[in-house]
Structure 1
């Protein structure tokens, strides 16, 4: 009976060890599951507040409109500047530039050819 008793004791010990491993495995699985949930829940699904979205869109639209108006005003100011067509020709030929660039630069420098050339040579 000694050998049979040893087998039962070993089987009982093995069963206890298997239960202990199952308990450890289930705890480990629970910890892994919680860690995975934290990773996947890191990016929350949030509903956007429609009023905040509308106000942000309105701010963008008004900013774009203000930029457009400022650009139109600047173009009107530049168009009003009197420039000498001879200066445009000289700058375009001597610096090998397009006439539109030479004219624009002259207008930006209020028709001052020297300032325009200095700017272009920088």
Structure 2
């Protein structure tokens, strides 16, 4: 220690150096903790595509359940022909409409009106 620096100032300088050294060590420690996880920017197009695929699969599953449920209803072929003749729709559409109304031709015809 030099004789021309008062002991109070010397102690203050040592204290400042210690605080600076501690702050640097803490900063390094914090950096090592946060360096484990890389920050990535989300690709919005990938997210949108994934969401669209999820929605499509849910829609397909819902339609499959609905088709299975509708297939359980019996329809009279004569009723299908009546709807085709009166409403002028395809047989497939007439058959589906009848199945949706559980084979009730009157309700199926009313649904077109």
In which range does the TM-score fall when normalised by the shorter chain? 0.5 to 0.7
Give how far 1:103 is off: 1.0
- Tell me the residue number matched to 2:21: none
Deviations 1:22-48 (A, max 9, x none): xxxxxxxxxxxxxxxxxxxxxxxxxx8
CA distance in 2, matches of 1:98, 1:57: 35
Q: Confirm or deny that 1:63 pairs with 2:55.
A: yes
1:96 Cα shift?
A: 3.0
1:94 to 81, 86, 101: 86
Change (3 A) 1:93 1:60: closer
Distance 1:52 1:100, change over 3 A: closer
Counterpart CA distance in 2 for 1:94 and 1:109 is 17
> Which position in structure 2 is the counterpart of 1:111?
103
Q: Which has the higher helix share?
A: 1
Structure 2: state its 5+ residue gaps: 1-39
Instruction: Tell whether 2:80 aligns with 1:80.
Output: no
- Cα 1:55–1:85 change in 2 (3 A) is same
User: TM (normalized to structure 2)?
Assistant: 0.54
Number of matched residues?
Answer: 74
